[in-house]
Amino acid sequence: MTGAIAPTKPLNALDVCDRCGAQAYVRVVLAGSGELLFCAHHNRQHADALAKIAIEIQDETARLTQAPGAGCPARLSAGGRVSMCAAPLPAGDPRQPRSIAR
C-alpha cells in the first residue's frame, strides 16, 4: 500500500448528508479510507472539528450559488420542468422513470 489517496469523484444527487439526508455538497475523507458526507448546513456547523481530522475535504458548496447552466446543477426546460444534468440511465435500468397508467 502506497498511502496515495484515490481521486474523488464529483458529488451528485445520490450522495446524501450523513446527518440529515439532504443532498451532500461536502465529502470529508478520513484516515483509514473512511469518508463522511455533509450538506452545506452541517458542513458549516462542524467545519472546525472536521478540519482537524480530515485528510481531504471536497467542498462543492459553490454549486449552490451558480446560475442555472453555469455548472449545470439544474436547468429549466421549455415546459417549466427542472432537469438535472446527470448522465442518462441505460435502457432497462430499474431507476429509469416509468409511466403509470391512469
Q: For residue range 52-91, what is the model confidence (pLDDT) as tens digits?
A: 999 999 999 988 887 665 554 444 444 444 444 445 556 6
Q: Per-residue pLDDT averaged across 7-30, rounded?
A: 91
- With contact defined as beta carbons under 8 Å apart, do 32 and 54 qualify? no
The reported pLDDT for the residue numbered 73 is 44
- With contact defined as beta carbons under 8 Å apart, do 21 and 37 qualify? no
On the question of pLDDT at 3 being above 60, the answer is: no
Residue with cell 448528508: 17
Higher pLDDT among residues 82 and 94, named by residue: 94
Q: Is pTM beyond 0.85 here?
A: no
- With contact defined as beta carbons under 8 Å apart, do 52 and 68 qualify? no
